[in-house]
Structure 1
């Protein structure tokens, strides 16, 4: 029974990935406004009904990779040592996810650029981040053992910092590594939440 259930879950994951990749490919080729759910389903060799079993919309299919990264991020935050400050745990977890995924792949780049160009996709991405924000606030509250607005403020600030880092990275045409930009933005955002920047021990950069 366990083997059968494992095979079933792997098949579902493979189908989700196939739909996601088909959605990305068609959107790059034709533009989001010209891509339909039916076209994505055909490209992934599934029925329209099967598509609906996995995703609510084409926007959800396009953002599937972001959803996977979000789940991994929450897992990494929960696994951080209990003695770490909440902000440092968020920052370290983000770096853990970056290292595990080997840096951003081309699909990450495509999703980031598409979200900036298409309001419907950006709206869906922000909705996903709203759900993540609630989860992060809960993890922060559990770690800090406190209450009040601090967990919500910190979770929102962290997600804004990550979004700014991604936008800066794409605006700079990927000339700097994303993790370097991410560190800079998170260090800047850290000031209200941490006693010192994340990499306070590294030598200060020399301005040109």
Structure 2
């Protein structure tokens, strides 16, 4: 087998893994939306995708994790996009660029994300895991933002504050987007513009 063939085979294998992961996420969301979290097992999710329970656990440690829509690769991609923002951009501007791109990606999978938000609302027992995972992701993102700001002792504190504010703006935009038929990226832009203006009250 040539090197090109090996690369193509690796590419097919990676695509297949991504497709299987996405199918398991969709199946988990659909089943839990229909039956509730307690009414769905890992076996049910695996059967819906025609894979084994062992295959399911190759991708997710639990059924709850399959509902969250997060993966190490997606977080790494977020950090890579932040690193690509020109260094002259402020921390808030850099986060706006990254989170607007994320909004566009979420918009492309609108139905899946609306279903995910519905599942979270219907199953509040998921919130501790959601908050825990989100806090860890926020910490890593804040560390990357601090890295952009240099060695100033105040950089870490500022990065933590800016990152928390930016992610809150994104979450608020997501919740509003779930109730109105509009562009998520547009809502994110509006939220960041309000932040840049100092959050003036509506006239």
2:157 is equivalent to residue 149 of structure 1:
yes
Structure 2 Cα separation of the partners of residues 93 and 148 of structure 1: 19
2:172 is equivalent to residue 164 of structure 1:
yes
Structure 2 Cα separation of the partners of residues 29 and 39 of structure 1: 12
CA 1:38–1:53 in 2, change beyond 3 Å: closer, same or farther?
A: same
Correspondence for 1:8: 13
Structure 2 Cα separation of the partners of residues 100 and 34 of structure 1: 30
Correspondence for 2:25: 20
TM-score, structure 1 normalization: 0.80
Offset of residue 37 of structure 1 = 1.0
Cα deviation digits, residues 130-180 of structure 1 (max 9, x gap):
22212211211111113341112222222222112212332xx22443233
Correspondence for 1:181: 187
Please, which moves more after superposition, 17-26 or 91-100?
91-100
Structure 2 Cα separation of the partners of residues 100 and 175 of structure 1: 16
Correspondence for 1:35: 40
Please, which moves more after superposition, 100-109 or 20-29?
100-109
Query: How do 1:66-145 residues align onto structure 2 when only pairs under 5 Å count?
Result: 70-100=75-105, 102-103=107-108, 105-145=110-150
5+ unaligned residues in a row in structure 2: which ranges?
1-5
**Structure with greater helix percent:** 2
Structure 2 Cα separation of the partners of residues 3 and 181 of structure 1: 40
For these two proteins, the number of residue pairs brought into alignment is 194
Please, which moves more after superposition, 141-150 or 1-10?
1-10
